[in-house]
Structure 1
Amino acid sequence: MPRYRLLIEYHGGPFQGWMRLPGLQTVQGVLEEAAARLDGGPVEVIGAGRTDAGVHATGQVAHMDLRQDRPNKVADAMNFHLRPHPVAVLKAEKVDE
């Protein structure tokens, strides 16, 4: 499966931090929901670091593995599925595992 490195920015106001937590809105959670809609199944998004509730980020790095190989469309497709959340994928590039 192709691995993609993501460069992400977000406004942390509406989030309970980075890490996925059941029943709470988190940055990792909305990214995984968007990735699942893009890829047609569950996708785990792994962050290089974590933020606390309400904290913003302008250069967070994460990676995910997708079943489909579409390097030129990942960032735009993720951003489409992330609406209306204040999260944006600035760059997505295919990388070696």
Structure 2
Amino acid sequence: MPRYKIILEYDGKGFVGWQRQANGLAVQQAVEEAIHAFSGETVTLFGAGRTDAGVHALGQVAHFDLRRDFSADKVRDAVNAWLRTNAIVVLA
């Protein structure tokens, strides 16, 4: 099962923080939903750190596993396409 590392930057305004929570949209949830939208797979995104509500990040590192093998460019471009309406960008 391929493991994918991504590097993100985001404007934390409008998010309840990094970690998925019941009280609003988290960065983790938004990215997991974008990955699911392009791959059809439900994933868990593991961040190297967490941010609180409203906190921005430059260079947040995270990883996830998929059953199918995609090129790194395909993952970046597809996730960014689905995140277009959020203040999140996959850099690599």
Range into which the TM-score falls when normalised by the shorter chain: over 0.9
Q: How does 1:1-97 map to 2 (within 5 A)?
A: 1-71=1-71, 72-91=73-92
Superposition deviation, residue 83 in structure 1: 1.7
Superposition deviation, residue 73 in structure 1: 0.5
Partner Cα distance (1:67, 1:80) in 2 = 21
For residue 62 of structure 1, give the secondary structure of its aligned residue in structure 2: strand
What TM-score results when the alignment is normalised by the length of structure 2?
0.94
Partner Cα distance (1:36, 1:67) in 2 = 12
Task: Give the 4+ runs in structure 1 shifted more than 4 A.
Answer: none
Q: Which runs of 5+ in 2 are unaligned?
A: none
Partner Cα distance (1:44, 1:53) in 2 = 20
User: Higher strand fraction: Structure 1 or Structure 2?
Assistant: 1
Q: Does the 8 A contact of 1:9 with 1:89 survive in 2?
A: yes
| Identity level (%) | 52
1:7-42 Cα offsets, whole Å, 9 max, x none, are: 000000010000001241100000010011121021
